[in-house]
């Protein structure tokens, strides 16, 4: 941060504190060249929610990726684009309780829950990718389970 008086580039921070609950930090700075003091208000980069995967890799949460997954499962089903957006919005909203990190499994299960309410075919499509059914029996059992839920 440059000194606002002489332009010297290596000013020292003498005090730093966040403003309330916002992502703005108030900093007192002092210039070692001209000895003047000034205050800056700096926005800290918004910290992205990290998604932890089963292989212990982590990646920033990506809304587009989530939407693509949901949209793919809903392809050619009688589901309006706005419903897909709403579903993604809802999931993203629910993820707010995870401040720093969320396991990818949680996201997958939230998608499955929404799709189950929305459309059984979309659910089965997503579930078949998500669970990667080891064999046809597991898959058929899942179909049976969905049928029972739907008939209730
Ligand atoms: Zn200065």
pLDDT digits (tens, 9 = 90+) for 117-150: 999 999 989 988 888 777 778 878 888 887 787 7
* CA of 12 relative to ligand 1 center, distance in Å: 10
As a whole number of Å, the CA-based R_g of the chain is 24
93 & 21 share domain: no
42 & 21 share domain: yes
Number of domains comprising the chain: 2
Average pLDDT, the chain: 86
- Contact indicator for 84, 71 with CB cutoff of 8 Å: yes
Which one has a higher pLDDT value, 36 or 23?
Answer: 36
pTM of the model: 0.64
* CA of 14 relative to ligand 1 center, distance in Å: 14
Structural domain that includes position 22: 1-46
64 & 105 share domain: yes
- Contact indicator for 11, 32 with CB cutoff of 8 Å: yes
Closest Cα partner for 2 from 25, 24, 50, 34? 34
* CA of 3 relative to ligand 1 center, distance in Å: 5
């Amino acid at each position: 941060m440059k000194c606002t008086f002489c332009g010297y580039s290596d000013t020292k921070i003498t005090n730093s504190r966040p403003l309330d609950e916002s992502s703005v930090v108030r900093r007192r700075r002092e210039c070692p060249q001209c000895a003047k003091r000034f205050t800056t208000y700096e926005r800290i980069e918004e910290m992205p929610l990290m998604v932890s995967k089963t292989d212990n890799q982590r990646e920033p949460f990506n809304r587009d990726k989530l939407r693509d997954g949901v949209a793919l499962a809903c392809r050619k089903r009688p589901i309006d684009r706005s419903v897909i957006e709403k579903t993604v919005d809802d999931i993203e909203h629910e993820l707010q309780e995870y401040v720093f990190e969320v396991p990818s499994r949680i996201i997958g299960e939230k998608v499955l829950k929404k799709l189950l309410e929305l459309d059984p075919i979309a659910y089965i499509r997503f579930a078949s990718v998500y669970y990667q059914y080891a064999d046809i029996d597991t898959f058929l059992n899942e179909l049976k389970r969905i049928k029972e839920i739907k008939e209730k």
